[in-house]
Amino acid sequence: MAVDKPAGLDGRGTAVDAGTYERLLADVTAWVEGPGEEWARVIESTGSVPAALRTELRERGFLGLAAPRELGGAGLSFTQWMGLMEVFSRSHASIRMIVHVVNGTWRSMNPHATAEQRARYVLPSVAGNITVAFTLTEPLNGTGADISSTVRRVGDVYLLNGTKHLITFGVHCDYWLLFARLEGSSGRDGTVGLLVARNSPGATVEDTSNTMGVRGTDHARLTFVDTPVPVDRRLGEEGDGLAIALGGFLTPSRISVAMSCVGLAERAQELAVGYARRRVTFGKPIASRQAIAFMLAENAADIQAARALVMHAAAEWEAGSGEAPALSSMAKLTAVDMLTRVTDKALQVHGGLGYWKSEAIERVYRDARAQRFEEGTNEIQKAVIAKDLLDRAAAKEEAGA
């Protein structure tokens, strides 16, 4: 299967001019603070994302911002995209999730797609005309090479067997971008990346969307029993599965999730500052109380420190630095811990009222907890960082020997 790899389609080498970017930033900010808040109320009250919201995001071009112009996107650089991701993340978590995922899955598909696959799957995904759900995680396995879903080839078809869970948009997608291994293989060499149609025979979909936070984003548990997948829906070659899943997707996605933490923390801080200025005790706003003011000051410093690391990681990935994978884990680890501290203090500033659904901070607090495991837990991030640190020390020692 010949893979067509046009240059410059990884989203690193392009950027829009400053004027265009400022207009985009203003447009996104106005939408998040206006219509986005109205949609947030609808999502929270119904527990689902209306089809009309997805249509609006598509028509505004918000689902293709991160992709290069050659794929129908806006042509933003990755660091520019992070500035917009920061703003989107101040909105409802399900809105952020839609924008984040659709603006990211093309990175996984595009480098390994044939010209026909690019036209059939990648371009429609960037345009927002189809939804592709990233389908890696399994209930009885770790992430990465530790997957047990299998395929066996029969002529021009793979027969897929296995179970996946925690699959975002797995219920209402058009395709699952699914990772499995050749029957009888082990390690990364036998892994494959497949585009599996949502209505494929032998596929059972269980909606598992009843979550603590991030209401409205559907999640699925998927079971496959001899599900036929045409071989021409395989991305890349047999053995490329993990490279597709992790190579072009995981590092920028971790950085994007880290920036999501920053944006959500900024929203929590905004709510806390506003409440502290309004709430009066003994004739004075509680913002004048040192205990409250110090919480807000700590939050402000925490947010700025995390944001600086996230943007550094984004710039390094954009430049193709070998340090980017470890930096992405550092950024995610740091930002999610920051978010935990900031949202806790922000809710504390609200006192008991912050625990009630009538206050916006209640939703922000619930949504923040999900970030602790999106794109890997803190423990995974620490393992990645430690391995990179020790590998670099060993290489330096060997070079000096």
Task: Give the model confidence (pLDDT) of 277-287 as tens digits.
Answer: 999 999 999 99
Whether residues 274 and 212 share a domain: the answer is no
Count the helices and strands in the chain (H runs, E runs).
14, 10
The pLDDT tens digits of the residues spanning 337-354 come to 999 999 999 999 999 999
Q: Are 361 and 320 in contact (CB under 8 A)?
A: no
pLDDT tens string 131-175 = 999 999 999 887 777 899 999 999 999 999 999 999 999 999 999
CATH of the domain at 94: 1.10.540.10
pLDDT for residue 146? 85
Do 268 and 202 fall into the same domain?
no
Residue 298 annotated among the catalytic residues of the structure: no
Q: Alpha helices of 68-195 — where are they, by DSSP H?
A: 78-88, 93-102, 105-109, 115-117, 123-127
The verdict on residue 107 lying in a domain is yes
Considering 375, 379, 397, 398, which one is annotated as catalytic? 375
Q: Per the domain annotation, does 3 fall within a domain?
A: no
Residues 197 and 268 in one domain: no
- Same domain for 178 and 298, yes or no, is no
Whether residues 395 and 275 share a domain: the answer is yes
Domain boundary among 78, 111, 127: 127
Q: Residue 92: give the domain boundaries.
A: 18-127
Please choose, from the candidates 125, 40, 126, 29, the residue with its C-alpha nearest in 3D space to the C-alpha of residue 83.
29
Judge if 328 and 354 occupy the same domain: yes
Do 390 and 319 lie in one domain? The reply is yes
3-state secondary structure of 328: helix
Residue 10 pLDDT grade (very low, low, confident, very high; cuts 50, 70, 90): low
CA 258 to CA 75: how far, in whole Å? 22
Tell me: do 40 and 137 sit in the same domain: no
**β-pairing verdict for 157-168 and 219-230:** antiparallel
Is position 276 within any domain?
yes
Q: Any idea which residue has 């996984």 for tokens?
A: 108
Whether residue 10 is contained in a domain is answered as no
Helix, strand, coil shares of the chain, percent, nearest 5, are 55, 15, 30
CATH number assigned to the domain comprising residue 278 = 1.20.140.10
Of 366, 375, 386, nearest in space to 44 by CA: 366
Distances from the Cα of 295 to the Cα of 12, 45, 111, 265, 304, angstroms: 38, 31, 46, 13, 15
Q: What is the DSSP string of 230-246?
A: EGGGEES-TT-HHIIII
Which helix or strand (DSSP H or E) is residue 339 part of?
Answer: helix 324-349
Q: For the chain, what is the mean pLDDT?
A: 93
CATH code of residue 214:
2.40.110.10
Domain boundary among 110, 127, 144: 127
> What's the pLDDT band for 7 if we cut at 50, 70, 90?
very low
Sign of torsion, CA 266 42 98 128? negative
Mean per-residue pLDDT for 87-102?
A: 95
Number of structural domains found in the chain: 3
Assess whether 263 and 351 both reside in one domain. yes
pLDDT greater than 90 at residue 266: yes
- Angstrom distance (rounded) from CA 113 to CA 63: 20
The pLDDT, as a whole number, for residue 149 is 96
